[in-house]
């Protein structure tokens, strides 16, 4: 009779051999063990990091590279000439004529680097030498929700983790009293909704926490009148005791573990969040610098100032949204107003991070889900605008080890296609991760039968973007 103890289910499964199944099982065990401690505890980077945190300025709707940072003099020659696209795209235009449209904005070269900027970027021109422009990026979709998902999650069809979720999964957070991934949306969520900052298949602790733009940033942030912190603490201890017993008997209910962690985080947030989110104690000179209190810039100015405060407190990834960049007509008026709303706040954010010594460790990214086309239909002869264009778009970055003072990549003479240093958005994602010290091929999670990553199936770093 054998004296060996019976194999547990875990040992039996692991004993299947060095197959993909056992490797996946090892990954699940590691994830399970990681879930037993604080999932947002700081973690070592894969590689030496250029930046510790990231602020992503998301211009939802698709800002026009042609009318912001990528001037096309050729369009002045072609203005109102009939436009045709090549190949299969031409058939889609047969229902109506289209025409080349020149930019309504004049351009200048800003800073010692000679960065190309439309003249209405008055404040950003003052920090032009901090910026690295990238004109060679391409995406796959011309549909707003799917393009937003690809920008944020690497996948056009939703359900995958957002960039901020991947970053906090890989690095944790430097402040255990605040979420590691915070989102500052507008009153109307971007197309695609909250899935843009979802944790996807990652543990729930890594999902983005949106702060409401009006009213209390977080509902129920303060306890009801008459309830002291000591009373709350006793309630949470009792709830935790009951939940722990239930979790011990049902360990596969991962949502319960995340909920328990969120109760504790919410309690800690009550102590720290009010001070971080309150701008009343900021010096008036700082508020004025960001444009807080001015009708045009107040909303985005508050977001940019709050983003600075959040990274100063150790929040790993902050994503700001500014919408309505989908200018199919009246682009002079539409883009003109939009630039006025964000120009001063963004320039103030960069200057303020430099002043506080945080710019070198904070990666700032600006961009939207796709670029714009050099053409559009003409309504009444004056309502010039632009359509969606996945073949050419401009991002810029600042801080965090980027190749400041340089413009990388180029588009053709009309801005329709990227033609130099061309890369898919997946390579841009991989580069952002590398700046934060993360290797996309190591930042994986086993789900649905394979190890998944932000780039979906792997990408490569764009070395020209890194100093």
What DSSP string describes 262-283?
HHHHHHHHHHHHHHHH--TTS-
Q: Is the pLDDT of residue 28 over 70?
A: no
Partners of 396 in beta bridges: 133, 366
- What gap in Å lies between CA 48 and CA 63, rounded to an integer? 33
pLDDT band of 234, cuts 50, 70, 90? low
Q: H-type helices in 110-228, by residue range?
A: 144-153, 163-171
Closest C-alpha among 116, 76, 140, 104 to residue 385: 104
- pLDDT exceeds 60 at position 119: yes
Q: Is the pLDDT score of 91 beyond 70?
A: no
Tokens in use for 394? 């401009």
Q: What percent of the chain has pLDDT over 70?
A: 78
Residue 436 to residues 167, 237, 366, 425: CA-CA distances in angstroms? 8, 37, 16, 17
Q: Is the Cβ–Cβ distance between 376 and 85 less than 8 Å? A: no
- pLDDT higher for 222 or 152? 152
Rounded Cα distance, 371 and 390, in Å: 6
Give dist(CA 249, CA 253) in Å, integer: 10
CATH architecture of 15-218+299-465: 3-Layer(aba) Sandwich (3.40)
3-class secondary-structure state, position 197: helix
Higher pLDDT, 213 or 73: 73
* 223 or 86: which leads in pLDDT: 223
- Of 317, 58, 340, 378, nearest in space to 165 by CA: 317
> Which pLDDT score is estimated for 458?
93
* Of 325, 329, 327, 326, residue with least CA distance to 383: 329
Q: Which of 5-19, 72-86, 117-131, 159-173 has the lowest mean pLDDT?
A: 5-19
Q: What is the mean pLDDT of residues 324-336?
A: 95
Dihedral sign for Cα 352, 314, 208, 366, please.
positive
**Per-residue pLDDT tens for 57-79?**
999 999 999 999 999 999 999 99
Q: What residue segments make up the domains of the chain, in order of their start?
A: 15-218+299-465
State yes or no: pLDDT of 207 exceeds 80.
Answer: yes
Q: Residues 175-196: pLDDT tens digits?
A: 888 889 999 999 999 999 999 9
CB 133 within 8 A of CB 69: yes
Among the residue ranges 140-149, 238-247, 324-333, the one predicted with the least confidence is: 238-247
By the 8 A CB rule, do 416 and 389 touch?
yes
Cα→Cα distances 314→168, 181, 277, Å: 12, 10, 14
Neighbours of 387 (CB within 10 A): 16
Q: Which residue has the higher pLDDT, 25 or 222?
A: 222
d(Cα 336, Cα 334) in Å, to the nearest integer? 5
Residue 14: the pLDDT is 40
Comparing 84-98, 247-261, 393-407, the range with the smallest average pLDDT is: 84-98
Name residues whose C-beta falls within 8 Å of residue 93's C-beta, 6 or more positions apart in sequence: 84, 85
Using the structure block, give the residue that is written with the tokens 């404040």: 123
H-run or E-run covering 431: helix 425-435
Average pLDDT over residues 358-371: 98
Q: Which of 285, 403, 308, 295 is nearest to 340 (CA)?
A: 295
Tens of pLDDT, residue by residue over 449-466, are: 999 999 999 999 999 999
Q: Which of 431, 430, 435, 456 is nearest to 445 (CA)?
A: 456
pLDDT on residue 376: 86
DSSP type of residue 87: G
Pairing of strands 423-424, 410-411: unpaired
Secondary structure in 3-state letters for 379-418: CCCCCCCCCEECCCEEEEEECCCECCCEEECEECCCCCCE
- pLDDT value for 293: 96
pLDDT at 201: 96
Beta strands in 115-246 (DSSP E): 115-118, 131-138, 181-184, 209-210
- Does pLDDT of 391 surpass 70? yes
418 closest CA partner among 139, 20, 19: 139
- Burial string for 318-345 (b: 16+ CB within 10 Å, else e) reads bbbbbbebbbbbbbbebbbebbbbbbbb
Exposed, middle or buried: residue 282 (CB in 10 Å: 0-12, 13-18, 19+)?
middle
Predicted TM-score (pTM) of this structure:
0.84
pLDDT score of 107: 98
Q: Find, among 129, 127, 153, the residue nearest to 139 by Cα.
A: 153
pLDDT higher than threshold 60 for residue 386: yes
8 A C-beta contact, residue 374 and residue 101: yes
Residue 465 DSSP one-character state: G
Q: In the prediction, which pLDDT does 301 show?
A: 97
Own/partner contacts of 259-263, CB < 8 Å, gap of 24 or more, are: 259/204, 261/38, 261/39, 261/205, 262/204, 262/205, 263/236, 263/239
């Amino acid at each position: 009779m054998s004296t060996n103890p019976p194999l547990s289910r875990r040992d039996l499964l692991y004993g299947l051999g060095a197959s993909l199944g056992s490797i996946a099982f090892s990954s699940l065990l590691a994830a399970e063990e990681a879930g037993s401690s604080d999932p947002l505890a700081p973690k070592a980077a894969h590689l030496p990091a250029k930046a510790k945190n990231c602020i992503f300025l998301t211009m939802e709707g698709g800002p026009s590279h042609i009318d912001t940072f990528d001037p096309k003099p050729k369009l002045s020659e072609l203005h109102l000439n009939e436009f045709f696209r090549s190949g299969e795209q031409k058939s889609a235009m047969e229902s109506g004529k289209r025409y080349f449209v020149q930019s309504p904005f004049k351009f200048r070269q800003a800073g010692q680097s000679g960065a190309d900027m439309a003249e209405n970027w008055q404040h950003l021109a003052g920090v032009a030498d901090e910026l690295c422009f990238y004109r060679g990026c391409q995406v796959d979709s011309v549909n707003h929700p799917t393009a937003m998902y690809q920008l944020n999650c690497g996948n056009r069809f939703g359900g995958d983790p957002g960039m901020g979720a991947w970053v906090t999964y890989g690095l944790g957070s430097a402040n255990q009293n605040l979420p590691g991934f915070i989102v500052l949306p507008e009153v109307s969520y971007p197309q695609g909704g909250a899935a843009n900052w979802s944790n996807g298949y990652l543990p729930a602790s890594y999902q983005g926490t949106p702060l409401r733009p009006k009213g209390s940033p977080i509902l129920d942030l303060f306890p009801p009148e008459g309830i002291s912190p000591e009373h709350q603490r006793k309630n949470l201890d009792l709830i935790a005791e009951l939940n722990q017993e239930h979790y011990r008997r049902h360990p596969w209910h991962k949502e319960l573990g995340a909920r328990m962690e969120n109760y504790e985080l919410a309690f800690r947030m009550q102590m720290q969040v009010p001070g971080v989110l309150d701008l009343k104690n900021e010096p008036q000179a700082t508020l004025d610098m960001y444009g807080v209190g001015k009708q045009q810039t107040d909303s985005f100015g508050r977001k940019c100032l709050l983003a600075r405060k959040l990274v100063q407190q150790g929040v790993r990834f902050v994503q700001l949204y500014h919408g309505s960049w989908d200018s199919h007509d009246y682009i002079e008026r539409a883009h003109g107003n939009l630039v006025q709303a964000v120009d001063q706040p963004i320039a103030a954010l960069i200057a303020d991070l430099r002043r506080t010594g945080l710019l070198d460790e904070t990666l700032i990214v600006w961009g939207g889900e796709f670029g714009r086309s050099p053409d559009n239909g003409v309504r009444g002869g004056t309502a010039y605008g632009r359509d969606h264009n996945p073949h050419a778009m401009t991002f810029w970055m600042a801080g965090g080890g980027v190749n400041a003072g340089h413009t990388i990549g180029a588009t053709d003479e009309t801005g329709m296609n990227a033609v130099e240093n061309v890369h898919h958005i997946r390579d841009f994602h991989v580069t952002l991760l590398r700046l934060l010290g993360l290797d996309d091929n190591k930042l994986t999670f086993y789900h649905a039968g394979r190890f998944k990553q932000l780039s979906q199936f792997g990408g490569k770093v764009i070395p020209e973007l890194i100093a």
